[in-house]
Amino acid sequence: MKRLGWTVSSWGLALVLTLPVLALVYEALLPTEDIFHHLWSTVLPVYIGNTFWLVLAVMGFSLLCGLPAAWLMAMCELPGKRWLQWALILPLAMPSYIVAFVYTDLLDYSGPVQAALRGWFGWQSSTEYYFPPIRTLGGAAIVLGLVLYPYVYLLARTAFLEQSTNLIQSSRLLGCTPWQSFKRVSLPLARPSIAVGLSLVAMETLADFGTVHFFAVSTLTTAVYDTWLGYGSLNAAAKIAAIMLLVVTLLLSMERMSRKRQQVFQKTMEHEQETGYRLTGLTRLAALGYCWGLVTIGFLLPFAILCYHAVYYFDQAWNAKFFQYSANSLLLSTLVALLAILLAVMLGMSHRLKGRAYTALPMRLASMGYALPGTVLAIGVLIPLTGMDFAINDLALWLGLREPGLVLTGTMTAIAFGYLVRFAAMAVGAVESSINKVSPSLDMVTQTLGYGPGAMIARVHIPLIRKGILAGALLVFIECMKELPAALLLRPFNFHTLATYVYQFVSDEQLELGALPAIVIVLVGLIPLIFLNRSLEQHH
């Protein structure tokens, strides 16, 4: 009976977390409103086209940045390589909308770059010279590519490191140059990993709201946001969100297919790169310049500008609002991290107690939300919670009580639930990985001693999987601190997190005043990268 209770609880939790997806699909299948017909016949085809070209451009630019860097770090001997291979991951910690503002500020007509050019060459106005505008779809693609290329870099580098040295040496003995060896041997073997990296880049691009909204590039993400807040049509927003859900499902299917193919390719994983290609002269300078250039424009330059603004405008930024919104972010992120871990432990242990294939299904269902872009998820959360709010008020009216108002959508409940649905997958993954390492014989011994499931978890499993619990909680906490689109749509009136607070300054072109909270977000984002780098160093 106790085990039945665990099974029922795990299925109940999984269904609660899949409620936004089910609600979104249900709302999208309802009869279409006039607003959606109007959008479909006017702007929606343009939004779909922009989204397609943006995703394609970001994937191309990420490949251009990440793949050569991955090969250089895996196969070549370079001075400072130990630091450089870690530094190349740093742009992941930088929110894309902050990078977007920094480069807009630098490269706009009134910015220091164009002002310097006009000063040097004596140009008087923009009619006398051409400078590519940054606030375009191409500019958005470059900014997003600078922030997202580490996905391709990390997976490609790992794939190159795992390749058999014998294959590469054989290709060299057969007369291949390093370039031919890369093209004919290394690249085909690493292709599935690169495909996975590119699918992650595509999903992150699809989910981006801050950069495209700031650059006024209309995509499906901004269409969901504008339809809900501008037109007030949940039905039309749900239909656009369902289109995005379809695209994400397609991308995930492609990623899984790539992973299946990867099992065929990676049969020899004996490679421990001891003697890489020794680059000299101009080649070495070019390789170092390329890699450090990526780190500089993707992280060091934007971060340095943030630090400058934070110091210069410290007195104006160090105020009650900064502390209030930091406290909001801290409280919300901590609450969601604790709930996610509790949920992950319950789902993981339920599967452990039964040990059947079907008992893993609740964990997979609970992890679905992570694939959803923030705006799509927010619409999915708003649909059931708005319905519940109406039901609560109708019930109060029927009982002759005073209507309580927006109990769920007007409080922190909506944003906390949205974050939990979006980031529970991280906690579930971390806990599941740790639980799988615990020997099943320990369960048998504990049961022989007469302990029930609850006592076994508290006394045996929790102490053994505490590192996985900590890692999962930390990842959820950090993602909650950084999340922007879901926070913008789900936050109660006059409630800000650090991410929405910074974005408010970015929207008003006053990043100088938001630099201090932006630095806090960036520094928090560096924590998982340090963990990631350490785990990579342990494996290679």
User: Distance between CA atoms of 114 and 117, rounded to whole angstroms?
Assistant: 5
Q: What is the four-CA torsion angle of 462, 465, 470, 475, rounded to 10 degrees?
A: -120
Question: Do the domains 32-311 and 1-20+313-540 match in fold?
Answer: yes
> What pLDDT shows up at residue 300?
92
Which pTM was predicted? 0.79
> What pLDDT shows up at residue 269?
46
> What pLDDT shows up at residue 108?
82
Count of CB atoms within 10 A of residue 235's CB? 16
> What pLDDT shows up at residue 184?
59
Residue 360's pLDDT band, with cuts at 50, 70 and 90, is low
| pLDDT per residue as tens digits for the range 35-51 | 878 788 888 888 889 98
Contact 256, 84 (CB under 8 A): no
How much is the average pLDDT of 177-196?
Answer: 67
| pLDDT per residue as tens digits for the range 229-281 | 777 777 888 888 888 888 877 776 776 665 555 544 444 444 444 446 677 77
Instruction: Map out the domains of the chain as residue ranges.
Output: 1-20+313-540, 32-311
Least trusted range by pLDDT, from 157-166, 425-434, 477-486: 157-166
Q: Which CATH superfamily is domain 32-311 in?
A: MetI-like (1.10.3720.10)
Least trusted range by pLDDT, from 45-54, 189-198, 322-331, 337-346: 189-198
Query: What is the average pLDDT value for the chain, to the nearest integer?
Result: 78
Extract the tokens encoding 338: 């604790």
> Max CA-CA distance within the chain?
88
CATH label, 1-20+313-540, candidates 3.40.1160.10, 1.10.3720.10, 3.20.20.70, 1.10.10.10: 1.10.3720.10
Using alpha carbons only, how large is the chain's radius of gyration in Å? 25
Helix axes 320-354, 498-507, angle to 10 degrees: 130
